[in-house]
């Protein structure tokens, strides 16, 4: 049976990423060795790193003055690396969910943190819009897509201080204006690559301003200077990232993906709204294009488990909602085909008819 | 042509590790999805993590009271994580090479570091034996195998203070007495897995004694508590590590590997000594079983480049020495077959005959 993979992350990747990575593990570029067994300093792997970095910049139209880094450790390590590199006296955070809260908590180890706004009181079902960013903050941190709660900031906001964004779960889902940001980071394991890799886009000029001594591996300047090769990089995830970047380029780039993502999300949200059994959990204007959260309407609550099984039997994988929200979450990342969304909608319709 | 892979790291892995990893990337355990596309919280991946951790402990006979962790970031991140977790007022380091020097340099960010001894004056061609470990140091750090210079500590030493060892390039090459160590760490990319993974063996009771606030991701206790799954782990490298651990177990365990490693190294060192063209660079008693460094004797120095080409033409890959030593380095990690060592020896003999 065909599987429809709605996992929230690690999550579906393009078939070409999967196949080319498996191939390179057996024999990399016909050199008779696995990509896992060659030096990261070999010209073959250096070419992979260079091409991945260049294509990453090209797809997001990243201009001069910004560096793109591929690092180990995941997005959670960035929760600490950001303050190590940017926090001098005070930082401001927008609290829009579990990940934003974790990022904020980490920053508190470094000094005064201003939570400019939070939607915690409403179980993070919306993104606060009315808040003031302190003009004396070293930076302002946002989480553009809240993977767990299914809310998303659809615009690049303005900030009077350097803007830092966790884009773990919406990078490459829409064109962004990188020039509005000082730093963008994320775990690669949603729209880019398998787990074990983080990406960082950083404006070079914001670095070198803090007075602390930064441990070498936690200093972005180390990795900029060495082109993400200060130490042995996560070779397989970087190779897989390159395959996904190529796939995005072949598809026509990020604006094509945005169009498809909007279409997929609209189809599913429309069905959630129409279907008598279901309702969405996020404020309509903040609905995420990547993580679509929905629950059973109160009068059908008892059918929740049954729908879960019904969907699983149809090959719809990974739609159980995070325990913080309950119900269902369908992650509709770039690589998820429209056919999978339609399969889910068909299941929702069929289940409605039966009840 | 068959390739003989003498790369220093990333380096040769067992064929079963390569094939099983490629297979799991195409379809993991027959579930119809790639191992790259499923949740790390799925029961399928949890089983991989649990089995890898258990097998790691079993193969090294690690007793209760120690935790085994799989982390992102590589060994270089451990250069900082060790002092974050263990450095209170003073630490002692033995300086036996480039990596030891880097570890020592990182510790200096945390306070007073005593270099108990160094072989730098002799281009790190031996391991100092006469030194005093300050009894008031928080820990004593050693590098058991010096990948670049081809020296190795063949015994587990005694230390009056907690002993910390970088075993990046000799882990699993011989049985070790883990109870003599407070902490052992390394990059996985030599004897275990592809790059992008570090292993840590830590005695639980040495943690929690420093007064600093440790960033969450840099605190070993975070990862102990969450079984290496505090955040998304490097899924593919962990899966590959499990394959290598299984391979070692099937072979009969670490003592069998040690026997083979000794045999391979003896064959090659014997040829280096016998052959009029070559000589070893490391002090005989400290010769590494994993990284065998040799140069041309003075009167044959001009043949160096020619031998490099001669060897490459025979499929002998990765034998160029590190620039700090020059000449040649044959890395003879666990997965390197004896046949590859013999192929190298044959090439050395043939080249000698011709000159
Ligand atoms: C928005 C966001 N930030 C951070 C993280 C943490 O990522 P990692 O597991 O790579 O540390 C996640 C993981 O899902 C996420 O969705
Ligand atoms: C002994 C030793 N320590 C540390 C390192 C650094 O490892 P990584 O590249 O994973 O940071 C190496 C790399 O070769 C090594 O051989
Ligand atoms: Mg969230
Ligand atoms: Mg409805
Ligand atoms: Mg060394
Ligand atoms: Mg000789």
Q: Please indicate whether residue A187, judged by its CB atom, sits closer than 6 Å to ligand 1.
A: yes
Give the confidence band of B234 by pLDDT, cuts at 50, 70, 90.
Answer: very high
- Ligand 1 neighbour A99 (Cβ under 6 A): yes
Share the mean pLDDT of chain B: 98
User: Would you call B166 a catalytic residue per the annotation?
Assistant: yes
Tell me how far apart the 2 most distant CA atoms of chain A are, in Å. Answer: 65
Q: What is the per-residue pLDDT across A264-300, written as a single tens digit (0 to 9) for each? A: 999 999 999 999 999 999 999 999 999 999 999 999 9
Of A38, A228, A29, the C-alpha closest to B194 is: A38
pLDDT, mean of residues A16-20: 98
Torsion angles phi and psi, residue A148, rounded to 5? -80, -40
Q: What is the pLDDT of residues B22-64, one digit of tens each?
A: 999 999 999 999 999 999 999 999 999 999 999 999 999 999 9
**What are B164's two structure tokens?**
């910390």
Measured from the CB, is residue A98 less than 6 Å from ligand 1?
A: no
DSSP one-letter code for B287: B
**Which residue of chain A has the CA closest to B235?**
A195
Report pLDDT digits (tens) over A129-150: 999 999 999 999 999 999 999 9
Q: What ipTM does the predicted assembly reach?
A: 0.98
**Residue A16 burial (C-beta neighbours within 10 Å; 0-12, 13-18, 19+):** middle
Given a cut of 90, whether residue A1 has pLDDT beyond it is: no
Say if the Cβ atoms of B26 and A25 lie within 8 Å: no
Alpha-carbon distance values, B13 to B76, B246, B263 (Å)? 21, 12, 19
3-state secondary structure at position B250: helix
Summarised one tens digit per residue, pLDDT across range B304-337 is 999 999 999 999 999 999 999 999 999 999 999 9
Pick among 3.40.50.261, 3.30.420.40, 2.60.120.10, 3.90.1150.10: CATH of A4-11+253-353? 3.90.1150.10
pLDDT digits (tens, 9 = 90+) for B153-206: 999 999 999 999 999 999 999 999 999 999 999 999 999 999 999 999 999 999
Of the CATH numbers 3.40.50.2300, 3.90.1150.10, 3.40.50.720, 3.40.50.300, which one belongs to the domain with range B253-353? Answer: 3.90.1150.10
State the Cα–Cα distance between residues B118 and B95, nearest whole angstrom: 5
Contacts of B75 (CB under 8 A, 6+ apart): A231, B99, B166, B168, B185, B186, B187, B198
Mean of pLDDT over chain A: 98
- Other CB atoms within a 10 A radius of the CB of residue A72 amount to 27
pLDDT at B27: 97
Please report, for chain A, the start and end positions of each structural domain, with discontinuous segments joined by +. Answer: 4-11+253-353, 15-251
Per-residue pLDDT tens over the stretch B67-81: 999 999 999 999 999
Which of B9, B198, B232, B320 is the best residue to mutate to test the A interface, defined by the most A CB atoms within 10 Å of its own CB? B232
A130 is in an annotated binding site: no
Q: In CATH, what number does A15-251 get? A: 3.40.640.10
- Tell me the catalytic residues of A: 99, 166, 190
Determine which residue's CA is closest to atom 5 belonging to ligand 2. B75
Q: Do domains A4-11+253-353 and A15-251 have the same CATH topology?
A: no
**Residue B41 marked ligand-binding:** yes
pLDDT > 90 fraction of chain B, expressed in percent and rounded:
99
> Which of A195, A238, A241, A314 to mutate against chain B (most B CBs within 10 Å)?
A195
Point out the residue among B7, B23, B235 whose CB comes nearest to the CB of A38: B7
User: Ligand 2: residues whose CB is within 6 Å?
Assistant: A 231-232; B 9, 74-76, 99, 143, 147, 166, 168-169, 187
Mean pLDDT calculated for residue range A55-78: 97
Question: Does residue A119 carry a pLDDT above 90?
Answer: yes
What pLDDT does residue B1 have? 81
- Residue A27: its H or E element: none
């Amino acid at each position: 049976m065909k599987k429809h993979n709605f996992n929230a992350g690690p999550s579906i990747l393009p078939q070409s990423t999967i196949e080319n990575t498996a191939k390179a593990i057996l024999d990399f570029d016909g050199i008779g060795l696995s990509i896992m067994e060659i030096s990261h300093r070999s010209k073959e792997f250096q070419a992979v790193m260079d091409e991945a970095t260049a294509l990453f910049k090209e797809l997001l139209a990243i201009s001069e003055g910004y560096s793109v880094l591929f690092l180990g450790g995941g997005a959670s390590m960035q929760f600490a690396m950001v303050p190590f590199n940017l926090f001098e006296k005070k930082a401001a955070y927008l609290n829009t969910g579990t990940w934003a809260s974790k990022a904020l908590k980490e920053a508190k180890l470094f000094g005064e943190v201003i939570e400019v706004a939070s939607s915690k009181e409403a179980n993070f079902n919306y993104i606060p819009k009315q808040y003031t960013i302190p003009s004396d903050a070293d930076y302002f941190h946002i989480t553009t897509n809240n993977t767990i709660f299914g809310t998303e900031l659809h615009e690049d906001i303005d900030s009077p201080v350097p803007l830092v964004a966790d884009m773990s779960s919406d990078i490459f889902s829409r064109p962004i204006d990188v020039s509005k940001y000082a730093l963008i980071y994320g775990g690669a394991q949603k729209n880019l690559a398998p787990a074990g890799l983080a990406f960082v886009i950083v404006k070079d000029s914001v670095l070198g301003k803090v007075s602390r001594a930064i441990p070498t591996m936690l200093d972005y300047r180390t990795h900029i200077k060495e082109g993400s090769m200060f130490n042995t990089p996560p070779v397989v995830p970087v190779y897989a990232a390159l395959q996904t970047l190529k796939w995005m380029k072949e598809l026509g780039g990020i604006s094509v993906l945005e169009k498809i993502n909007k279409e997929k999300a609209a189809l599913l949200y429309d069905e959630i709204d129409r279907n008598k059994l279901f309702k969405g959990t996020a404020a309509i204007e903040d609905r995420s294009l990547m993580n679509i959260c929905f629950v059973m309407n109160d009068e059908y609550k008892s059918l929740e488990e049954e729908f879960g099984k019904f969907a699983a039997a149809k090959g719809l994988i990974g739609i159980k909602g995070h325990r913080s929200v309950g119900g269902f979450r369908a992650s509709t990342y770039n690589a998820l085909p429209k056919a999978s969304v339609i399969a889910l909608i068909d299941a929702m319709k069929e289940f409605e008819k039966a009840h």
